[in-house]
Structure 1
């Protein structure tokens, strides 16, 4: 199984309503082989944390690649997460 973890830092003054729409859009994606997805905003328990996260699990590398290349996923990246984010970090791990 492949786990994809994404963390983002928002630009100052970023539209958090738009961020919520983007996170909901990720959850709504119907990608074959995507076995689970969790999204959330930082709870503010520690200074210096990132602002939001996306964690998604995939049955295998092919399923992750399908997600990475999905049109709607890339639209969300391009139109929401890219413009709102100052910085994005991501990692894929085998679990």
Structure 2
């Protein structure tokens, strides 16, 4: 279990993945929107989405030709909120 927990927390250690998760926490997005909102390239976004999908913390659905991504459940929202609150208390 320790190894799994360590791997899980590594998902939050990448700035772009964290930005993607924070954006998806607000609303579902497609890759084009994530490119605009983060300022990163489409290939970087796609690479990080692949990692997040493999970790089973985001899901996707197709609407026409576009694929939209969302957080899979509220646990990710809670983890980000708790970590943010912890850091804000330290300031």
TM-score by length of 2: 0.32
Q: Which one has the bigger strand percentage? A: 1
| Higher RCO structure, 1 or 2 (CA under 8 Å, sep 6+) | 1
Q: Which one has the bigger helix percentage? A: 2
